[in-house]
Amino acid sequence: MTVDIPEGLGWVRRVPAGREWLAALPGLLAGCAEEWGLRVGPPFPYAFASLALPAELPDGTRAVLKLQYPDPDSAHEATALSRWAGEGAVRLLAHDAGRRALLVERCVPGTPLHALPADQALDVVVGLLPRLWLPAGAPFTPLAEEAAGWRERMPASWERAGRPYERRLLDLALDRLAELAGTQGEQVLVNQDLHAGNVLRAAREPWLVIDPKPLAGEREFGVVAMVRGTELGHSPAAVRHRLGRLSAGLGLDVERVRGWAIGQTLAWSIGGDTVFTQNIETARWLAGLD
């Protein structure tokens, strides 16, 4: 079985683990198709961290087959979907841990949340998130542990990338992460990649979350990806509006949200040899350095 790799997944060719995964994909895909009796179509073009393909089960049920790149961020995606049990998120239909393969409900029509005007989209998020914030612990990675990893890696990544932003911004992010990690509120199931492209229009519910990268952490962290994401506008005013609107609408401490957003956005601003300048801009705007 041949596999067409979407452009967004091209980065995996640059790392040895990625090349190994690409070489294994045809076998993984064939194995899943046989195990679950699937008919699969061409991959969705927007994939970045997994190969996702439309699939149909023997009874005609429409689904999505997702073959994950084996990174730690998505290790507990299936567990999160199981915990949510279709409440505000796509249903997990089947899971093959050995293949890092998930079969999930397909959202129809699948229109992304960012097709709405920004304030309407934020209203959807305010309605969805409390349903997803279930009490959480093991096996989900604690946010404090994840933040410690960011703090450990960020200075070296910044040096290797040629110091692409000012030292005072790095120091601010490191300080905020250290302060916030040890003073959190109740630990709930949060999603560190809940941007407006990962909430889709569906038939069973108006909007469903897809592709979670779950952690156990406080609610203030749970809106960071929506504040950071560019899908609902990339400007100082748009970023600050999302920060204020989501914090107020969900009863969150706006300064804790701001601190987590600065820290994670900057931690995610360098990946390998790539510098994501929009993340750096967003962190500067949140820090008031514009």
DSSP assignment of 128-153 equals HHHHH--B--TTSPBHHHHHHHHHHH
Any residues with CB less than 8 A from the CB of 63 and at least 6 apart, and which? 38, 54, 55, 56, 57, 93, 103, 104, 105, 106
Question: Can you read off the two tokens belonging to residue 211?
Answer: 């592709």
| Residue type present at position 165 | Y
Phi, psi of 236 (to 5 degrees): -55, -40
Contact 127, 241 (CB under 8 A): no
Rounded to whole angstroms, how far apart are CA atoms 266 and 280? 6
Classify residue 196 by burial, with Cβ atoms within 10 Å: 0-12, 13-18, 19+: buried
Rounded to whole angstroms, how far apart are CA atoms 267 and 187? 21
Catalytic residue among 4, 193, 211, 253: 193
Phi, psi of 206 (to 5 degrees): -60, -40
Question: How, if at all, do strands 214-217 and 188-191 pair?
Answer: antiparallel
Is-catalytic flag, 59? no
Q: Active-site residue numbers?
A: 193
